[in-house]
Structure 1
Amino acid sequence: MYTTPDLQAFGGADAYLRSCASRSVVELISNKWVCLVIGALAAGPMRFGALRRRLDGITQKMLTRTLRDLERSGLVGREVFPTTPPQVEYSLTPLGEDLGVLMGAIRVWAEEHMNEITEARTDYDARVQEPVRPL
């Protein structure tokens, strides 16, 4: 059986190791709201309210937390305009744009295969409900 070698010993990253810093990056980008925020901002800069309207179901608290995490990680930039009240606009950084390509591909794949996934879930749920028959 093949086991992924520990690449950290050779100066590389290995997200399969709990101590590898890349695992926190995987954790960040696997969040559904991160994926959707990155996708929404791929179209161009947006203000907080526009983002919240675009991301149906996200709470103000979750959007705020997600944007802060993305800004902290260098994926999203935040620009404050000196107006009354202050206007804030969010946009992808070059690093965020790079991630946006991947997130866009994941979104497209999900949209293209949602019917197959739904059908597989329905079939599975039906099989699980069937009584166990002795041999």
Structure 2
Amino acid sequence: MAVDPESLNMEMRDPNNLNEHVRALWEDLIGEPTGTHSMDGVWRCSYKVFNSCKTCCYKVMTVLCAVPASIYWGCCFAALSFDMIWCTTPAIKAYLMQFGACKMLWSSVVRTCCDPCCESMGRCLSDIKVTQTKE
């Protein structure tokens, strides 16, 4: 089901948490333990520089690469869908049909050749009784 681009949620862009593993917040990456603190000004400046650089770099990369990446991934998933719908699924169905016929033939051969021998051996061995004797 296609989503109308105008109805996209511009705030919550990962509603299914697909990329929670790539979250890179300052608090998740940098931490100074008690007794090892930089100067307050350095800490604040580092925080601002980190977030500014990360945001700027990400935006530049998305401007340059997001549309070509979307084209690439759209084509990849279209090709994968085509393959699954028109090639793989029909091929699997054909193999299953062939294997069904082979299964019927093989089970007839086994029932004809092996069942009599197995039944005879079973009847011969069914009267064996095992007892334990004390020494």
TM-score normalised according to structure 2 size: 0.30
TM-score scaled by structure 1? 0.30
Q: Choose between structure 1 and 2: higher helix proportion.
A: 2
The structure that is strand-richer by fraction is: 1
The structure having more radius of gyration, on CA atoms, is 2
